Amino acid sequence: MNDKVKKALKQTTCEYAEVHLEETTRTSVQYLGKELENIGTTDEVGGNVRAFHKGGWGFVSFNDAKNLPAYVREACRQAKLVGGGNSAGLAEVEPVQDEVKVQLDDDPRKIDLAEKERLMRKYNEIIFKHSKIQTSNVRYEDVAMQRTFANTTGAFIVEERMYCGTGYSATAKEGANVQFSFGRSGGTLGWNTVLGREQDVENITREAVELLKASKPEAGVYTVIADPSLAGVFAHEAFGHLSESDFIYQNERFQKIMTLGKRFGVEALSIVDDGSIPGERGSFKYDDEGVPARKNHLIKDGILVGRLHNRETAGKMKEQITGNARAISYRYAPIVRMTNTYIEPRDWSFEKLLQDTGHGIYAIDALGGMTELEMFTFSAAKAYLIRDGKLGPMLRDVILSGNVFETLKHIDAIGNDLKLYGGLGGCGKGDQVPLPVADGSPHIRIRNVVIGGK
């Protein structure tokens, strides 16, 4: 295949071209309620050619590589049709030749499908031990992938990737009152990442039942302690997407707002995107342009110091390449995407945060949310009132909203308990979803948060 790809790339008639080949095996198990909804393994093979010429791109995807030279010629033809309007080239990258193998003692591919089903059934049965549970959703998935990347500058990379994860939710019902709780676990470390989740499944089930009796908060402005999951979702959704440079260079207003060197928060605040962390769901060795994954500070010590790039945006903005060109499969061209995005830890313990806060709300996890440019709205999965530095009664239907830039300025305390969350699902952007990512944070305290309620 190496020689075949190199021979095909010699058909290139434009500035640059690259070939992606992909082989994927996906195994899934899902219980919906008490019924096994689906189980099985699927295989998929495909690839694409991407070509660049004077600012224009051509793209051809395929399932049969027999006509690879013709696909290269067609991608070049497309690139020439749309190119010519922009003289900015791609950021230069040192071409790499490498082969990356997955080496796991408990490789999920070695685990029998029946054992995967038994584990999910076990988790599902824990949920239905509670009488007020109406339904459940328990899922398992592992994805084994081999990606081959080659380009006209001499790069040739064969990289294996393996994701394995589980997600589980419980829905409780009492009359017209319906409440929901969920958990997840997963990453790139193997079968062990989905084992031993019995207590967490028990916890989320109990929380769904307890939420039936929880009250709604009084609407107002609160001091909020956000748990690592909710704070991570904020870092990813509200700020991370604004740091993706394919958005920034097309938006003059945000070019002025997202000016490097501008203060965005207190000195303790640092936000990072890092695709090189071992074991995390958003990790890999090379992005989809053959650029090594790396740690990229977006905010460091309160100052905006970076943003995320692919080769095109880095070339147009004359900034350093970051290794954030990603596509969910061979059917799509890579675009600028996050990897593992998180707030760096500092020195506050959770107990100290509670004691120092006095009165406020402790908000946990995110059921969902919406971002519209710099404005956001998130719904916490559950929350607790904070009274006199201690956790009080449980709250539900806690909705946080605000302006991301003002909210960053109101983060005044950052914990020492960083945690990242991967599991199933992933990030959506455009029509590419779900992309494997992780996000997280330590506990953080935010002043002056608008909370919707009764």
pLDDT at position 2 is 81
Backbone torsions φ then ψ of 119, nearest 5 degrees: -65, -45
Q: Rounded distance, CA 314 to CA 196, Å?
A: 43
Q: What is the DSSP string of 48-70?
A: EEEEEETTEEEEEEES-GGGHHH
Using DSSP bridges, classify how beta strands 156-174 and 97-100 pair: parallel, antiparallel or unpaired.
parallel
According to the model, what pLDDT value does residue 125 have?
Answer: 98
Residue 244 and residue 201 share a domain? no
Kindly state whether residues 174 and 255 are assigned to the same domain. Answer: no
Q: Give the DSSP H/E element, type plus range, for residue 356.
A: helix 350-357
Task: Give the DSSP per-residue string, 271-289.
Answer: EEEETT-TT-TT--SB-TT
Do the Cβ atoms of 123 and 150 come closer than 8 Å?
no
Last residue of a domain, one of 193, 213, 233: 213
Q: Are residues 231 and 94 in the same domain?
A: no
The reported pLDDT for the residue numbered 259 is 95
Q: Where are the beta strands (DSSP E) in 275-338?
A: 295-300, 303-304, 325-326, 335-336
Spatial CA neighbour of 78 closest among 54, 97, 114, 62: 54
Residue 419 to residue 442: CA distance in whole angstroms: 6
Strand partners, 317: none
User: How far, CA to CA in Å, does 441 sit from each of 41, 239, 398?
Assistant: 34, 13, 20
What's the pLDDT at 83? 84
Are 178 and 251 contained in the same domain? Answer: no
DSSP letters of 104-146?
-TT-GGGS-HHHHHHHHHHHHHHHTTSTTEEEEEEEEEEEEEE
Q: What is the pLDDT of residue 453?
A: 76
Segment holding 165, helix H or strand E: strand 156-174
Same domain, yes or no: 7 and 35: yes
Please tell me whether residues 154 and 227 are part of one structural domain: no
CA distances from residue 33 to 36, 121, 169, 368 in whole angstroms, order as listed: 8, 11, 10, 22
* Low-confidence residues in the chain, pLDDT < 70: 1, 86-87
User: What angle separates helix 2-9 from helix 68-82, to the nearest 10 degrees?
Assistant: 30
Q: Looking at 213, 229, 264, which one is the last position of a domain? A: 213
Report d(CA 113, CA 416) in Å as an integer.
39
Where do we find the tokens 């965005």?
Answer: 264
Q: Tens of pLDDT along 59-87?
A: 999 999 999 999 999 999 999 999 877 66
Backbone angles phi and psi of 376, in degrees to 5: -140, 155
Residues 175 and 249 in one domain: no
Q: Does the bond joining 108 to the residue before it have cis omega, within 30 degrees of 0? A: no
- 262 shares its domain with 392: yes
Total tally of structural domains belonging to the chain: 2
The two structure tokens encoding residue 121: 């059934």
Cα–Cα distance for residue pair 378/401, rounded to 1 Å: 6
297 shares its domain with 204: no
- Look at residues 236, 241, 273, 270 and name the one whose alpha carbon lies nearest to residue 258: 241
Query: Is 209 in the same domain as 225?
Result: no
Q: Are 102 and 144 in contact (CB under 8 A)?
A: yes
CA distance 446 to 440: 16
Q: Is residue 273 located within the same domain as residue 133?
A: no
**pLDDT attached to residue 87:** 66
Among candidate residues 167, 186, 213, the one where a domain is terminated: 213
Structure confidence at residue 368 (pLDDT): 79
Domain extent for 123: 2-213
Q: What share of the chain is helix, strand, coil (3-state, %, to 5)?
A: 25, 45, 35
CATH label of the domain that carries residue 53: 3.30.2290.10
How is residue 7 annotated by DSSP? H
Closest of 296, 305, 308 to residue 334, by C-alpha: 308
Specify whether 186 is located in the same domain as 253: no
Best CA proximity match to 361, nearest among 217, 214, 229, 235: 217
